Structure 1
Amino acid sequence: MKLYIIRHCEANGQAPNACLTLAGSEASGRLAKFLSGLNIELVISSPFTRAVHTIQPFVLQNNIPFKLDDRLKERVLSIEDLPDWYEKLQQTYIDKELNFTGGESSNEATKRINELVEELKQSNYKSVAIVTHGNIMSLLLNYYQPHFGFEEWKQLSNPDVFEMDFSKEHPVGNRIWR
């Protein structure tokens, strides 16, 4: 199975109902064209508005089956306002059990997204796209490629697309978005 891991387009904030910016909406159209040649059989998305709006043009133009899955939601670092969130996030790539008030550790978030990936690997699908968020995406990539960490997370774009081929013994996430 090939898995396409897609990060949402640029949005107006981090709230679950944050919409895409004008640039994000334009990028979702370019993303739809880019994905059209990949023979994707199913799309599963985070329920967050920015993720759904990112993939909507592709799904509608290509009549692709579409599902929402809470396991693709962005990781909550903390329910408290963290003025130093950036440094705290960096710490969670070093200490994967580190947990801030009301948030998920890196290991907890990785387990959540990996449950979905394991289900997909056991399915009959040959090509699936998941639409998610930068932090959870980077944790999934880190699971298969331990060198993919905080610095690589900082390099992700909105949108971004990685391809993983699970027919190989050691799948590697290759960035295919240009």
Structure 2
Amino acid sequence: MKSIYLIRHCSASGQEPDAELTDEGQQQAQGLAEFLSQEDIERIISSPFTRAVQSIEPFRVQKELELTLDMRLTERVLSKQPLDDWLEKLESSFSDMNQVIGEGESSHKAQERIVEVINEIKDGPDDRVAVVTHGNLLSLLLNYVDSRFGFREWQSLSNPDVYLITANREEPLSVTRLWKS
């Protein structure tokens, strides 16, 4: 049985790859470390975005674990151009998973890359792995596991947030929300 802890980053100062955690986000990262310390996590894989790395850093230091950065865990780019109606476009991307806006990434393509990471973990040697990512990408993975997870559920995600996926070769993935915001 594999336990995969899906972690959404803590509160950040923006959406840019180098956006850092806010003061509140730094406090949340300490709380996240305390929360995760009860789990016997063997490995951490994270988006290379600063806010994701900073979110898991207190836990990583506490447990003396190495951090593997994986570009496939970066946030989905809805559009490379600013959109005044980005929230409506994001909502529609949950019902039309192949929708592409300009040079953005479809929900389907983003979902494929995070599922690939999860499948590698399922087939890998570690039984308890933390995966640190971003809200939209996390929601697309949760949608893959449970198709009822959509836009409204994305809206209910917190910073941080923690879900547990349990997996074995014989059964479908199952997911449970662990974080109580």
TM-score, normalised via structure 2 length: 0.97
In the alignment, what sits opposite 1:23?
A: 24
Residue ranges of structure 2 left out of the alignment (5+ in a row) = none
Higher strand content, 1 or 2: 2
How much has 1:64 moved relative to structure 2? 1.3
Can you give the 5+ residue segments of structure 1 that lack an aligned partner in the other structure? none
- Decide whether the 8 Å contact of 1:28 with 1:54 is kept in 2: yes
Q: Which residue of 2 aligns with 1:175?
A: 177
Letter in structure 2 aligned against 1:113: I
SS across alignment from 2:38: helix
Runs of 4+ in structure 1 displaced over 6 angstroms? Answer: none
Give the letter for the 1:61 counterpart: Q
Deviations 1:130-169 (A, max 9, x none): 0000000000010010000000000000000000110371
- Deviation, 1:66, is 1.2
Work out the CA distance in 2 between the residues paired with 1:15 and 1:65.
Answer: 24
Instruction: Give the percent of matched residue pairs that are identical in Structure 1 and Structure 2.
Output: 48
RMSD over aligned Cα atoms: 0.8
Query: Any idea what SS the aligned residue of 2:6 has?
Result: strand
Give, as a single letter, the amino acid of the residue that structure 2 aligns with 1:62. Answer: K
The answer to whether the 8 Å contact 1:163/1:175 transfers is yes
**Which residue matches 2:71?**
70
Determine helix, strand or coil for the equivalent of 2:112.
helix
Aligned counterparts of 1:35 and 1:86: Cα–Cα separation in 2: 31
Q: TM-score, normalised by structure 1?
A: 0.98
Task: Show the counterpart of 1:158.
Answer: 159
SS of match in other structure, 1:60: helix
More off after superposition, 160-169 vs 120-129: 160-169
- 1:38-57 maps to which residues of 2 (within 5 A)? 38-57=39-58
Amino acid at match of 1:177: W
How many pairs were matched up?
178
